[in-house]
């Protein structure tokens, strides 16, 4: 059965990549949650999609140019709805603690956002934070940047790794002895990846929102999909059981 991952949390209900969005994803019983991480000026791991804070806060500028304390002064919710004006950019630590408090036992997909900026130390810091907890849920690390996945493998060969694909030129990257457990293609690449996938790796497809595309993924029995509306996707999937 295709797993449903809440893309940046339950993004249709709450501002993306916030504690409210992750809590809502748990409430609707998503199988997994996806989020994105960057590093602050003072080396803290924060959860936000863009390299800048312009789109999802009332501030401007690069994430890496602010300390954590400075970033958390910004409003990360009012852009979505005034009722979320208390939302702040969360740390990965805060997300771990929320998921543990809410008894989440699914999979957490952490995207290493190193395809635009290298963020020296991000991979090691994420791993160290993960290992500092006894987490009741699985961690999967994904990235468009194969170097980050290789770095994670070198640090800990037990980590689950997934390669994000957004163009055909990425298909043939040679990871050597690094084991990639899943491919994460954009929906528009699904057919090409199915044809290319020589070893039959499981496919987790992003970002699938339209009903027709959801049904297509369920019919193809892909391993998982990432969606902004996990509640709707779950309802559609369960009808097809």
Is pLDDT of 240 > 70? no
Extract the runs of DSSP E, i.e. beta strands, from 82-229.
Answer: 107-112, 138-143, 160-165, 182-185, 204-205, 224-227
Assign residue 194 the CATH number of its domain. Answer: 3.20.20.190
Catalytic site residues?
A: 7, 49
pLDDT tens digit sequence for 143-194? 999 999 999 999 999 999 999 999 999 998 999 999 999 999 999 999 999 9
Residue 241: pLDDT band with limits 50, 70, 90: low
150 three-state secondary structure: helix
- Dump pLDDT digits (tens) for 78-135: 999 999 999 999 999 999 999 999 999 999 999 999 999 999 999 999 999 999 999 9
Report the number of distinct structural domains present in the chain. 1
pLDDT for 198 equals 87
pLDDT at 231: 98
> In terms of residue numbers, what domain contains 15?
3-239
pLDDT at residue 120, rounded to an integer: 95
Q: What is d(CA 189, CA 142) in angstroms, rounded to the nearest whole number?
A: 17
138-143 vs 45-47, strand pairing mode: unpaired
pTM for the model: 0.98
């Amino acid at each position: 059965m295709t797993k449903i991952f809440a893309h940046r949390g339950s993004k249709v209900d709450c501002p993306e990549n916030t504690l409210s969005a992750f809590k809502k994803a748990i409430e609707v019983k998503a199988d997994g949650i996806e989020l994105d991480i960057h590093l602050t000026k003072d080396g803290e791991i924060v959860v936000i999609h863009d390299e800048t804070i312009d789109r999802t806060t009332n501030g401007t500028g690069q994430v890496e140019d602010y300390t954590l304390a400075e970033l958390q002064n910004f409003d990360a919710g009012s852009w979505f709805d005034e009722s979320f004006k208390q939302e702040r950019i969360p740390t990965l630590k805060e997300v771990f603690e929320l998921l543990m408090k809410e008894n989440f036992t699914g999979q957490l997909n952490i995207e290493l956002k190193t395809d635009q900026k290298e963020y020296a130390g991000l991979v090691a810091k994420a791993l160290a934070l993960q290992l500092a907890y006894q987490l009741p849920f699985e961690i999967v690390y994904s990235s468009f940047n194969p170097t980050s996945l290789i770095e994670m493998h070198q640090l800990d060969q037990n980590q689950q790794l997934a390669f994000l694909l957004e163009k055909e030129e990425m298909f043939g990257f040679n990871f050597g002895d690094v084991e990639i457990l899943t491919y994460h293609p954009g929906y528009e690449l699904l057919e090409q990846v199915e044809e290319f996938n020589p070893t039959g790796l499981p496919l987790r497809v992003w970002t699938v929102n339209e009903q027709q595309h959801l049904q297509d993924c369920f019919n193809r029995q892909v391993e998982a999909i990432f969606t902004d509306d996990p509640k709707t996707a779950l309802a559609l999937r369960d009808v097809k059981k």
